[in-house]
Amino acid sequence: MSKEIAMKIQLKNETSTLKAVVLGQSISMGRTPLLHETYDAKSYETVKIGTYPTEEDVSNEMSAFERILRQYNVEVFRPATIQNCNQVFARDVGFVVDDKIIISNIIPNRQDEKEAYQHIFNQISYDKIFNLPEKAHVEGGDVVLYNDTIFVGVYKDTDYAQLKSARTNVYAINFLKEILPEKDIIALELIKHDTTPFKSILHLDCAFMPVSKNKALIYKAGFSDKKQLKTIYKIFGSENIFEITEEEMYLMNTNIFSISPQVVVSEQKFERLNEHLEQVWNIKVERIPYFEVSKMGGLLRCSTFPLLREND
């Protein structure tokens, strides 16, 4: 495909005005997984206690999200349907940095999901698409853009291969540094646990997220190396950081989604966060129901794969 007719992709941060995005989908999610088939701590918990969401409930919430995106004139793409496959969380299939798209090496349980994005990838100039080497494991939820800085969640302990919740490795960090030499890539080590959601940060965006142009949300206990928190506080300033409680982390308060520096989409039950965003930071909050989706280990940001944001 020539560059003249290729789809434009561009992403420098998490908050500039959104123009195009892939939103995951809930058609043909398949049956509720068995306990040993879950691959994150939240799903493990909800399957165990019998509260795993229904396809209908998830579809209703995702439809509400899509309506908000279209209300702000965002072009919304959807992955093709794979029968009996959970395709809600588009974030982890790939991610855009500047004008490059990097296809993730997601965990084996989810490899089939990549096929559903081929009709979108086919519209992007081939020289802008990067496939990672097999040893480089990274998912989009661990990659948080802040202009010339990229924060990447990582797990470095020796039991990496045994943990389903360990998604991004050091090899991937090194590879990203090679293909993005102009970026300052900051690795942030996360706590992990396969079955206890209060002790596990599945992806970086479950513990840290920039909002607006210079603000951030953070759950400090989610980082195994507390010295690394100093870097975040130095970049944003403590006055511009909203600290999330353990219960709020469990409910995924950091995993909201910015449509622009002035507008975020948030779960309607996040009362303390939503009030702070509006009353203190003067950010408009579009509240929608997304609680059922959260039972599968992700929320609003996890459901999206942004392709194009304006440079505002």
3-class secondary-structure state, position 292: helix
Contacts of 162 (CB under 8 A, 6+ apart): none
pLDDT 10s digits, 169-220: 999 999 999 999 999 999 999 999 999 999 999 999 999 999 999 999 999 9
Evaluate whether residue 198 is within a structural domain.
Answer: yes
> Is residue 10 situated within a structural domain?
no
Q: Which of 282, 116, 130, 303 is nearest to 205 (CA)?
A: 303
Would 300 be classed as within a structural domain? yes
Question: In this structure, is residue 231 part of a structural domain?
Answer: yes
**Which pLDDT score is estimated for 5?**
62
The one-letter code for the residue type at 153 is: G
Predicted confidence at residue 3, as pLDDT, reads 45
| CB-based contact 78:25 (threshold 8 Å) | yes
Q: How many CB atoms lie within 10 A of CB 231?
A: 13
Whether 291 is in a domain gets the answer: yes
Strands (E), 198-295: 208-211, 215-218, 241-243, 257-260, 263-267, 284-288
Whether residue 4 lies inside any domain: the answer is no
Domain count, the chain: 1
Q: What mean pLDDT, rounded, does the chain reach? A: 95
Distance CA 224, CA 242 (A): 19
Q: What is the pLDDT of residue 182?
A: 97
Q: Tell me which residue range forms the domain holding 284.
A: 18-309
Query: Is residue 7 a part of any domain in this protein?
Result: no
Domain annotation covers residue 224: yes
Across-strand partners of 100? Answer: 97
CA dihedral 115, 21, 177, 203 (to 10 degrees): -80
Whole-model pTM? 0.95
Please report which helix (H) or strand (E) contains residue 174, including its range. helix 170-179
CATH number of the domain residue 229 falls in: 3.75.10.10
Torsion sign across C-alpha atoms 78, 297, 180, 146: positive
pLDDT in tens, the chain (312 residues): 444 568 999 999 999 999 999 999 999 999 999 999 999 999 999 999 999 999 999 999 999 999 999 999 999 999 999 999 999 999 989 999 999 999 987 767 777 788 899 999 999 999 999 998 889 999 999 999 999 999 999 999 999 988 999 999 999 999 999 999 999 999 999 999 999 999 999 999 999 999 999 999 999 999 999 999 999 999 999 999 999 999 999 999 999 999 999 999 999 999 999 999 999 999 999 999 999 999 999 999 999 999 999 987
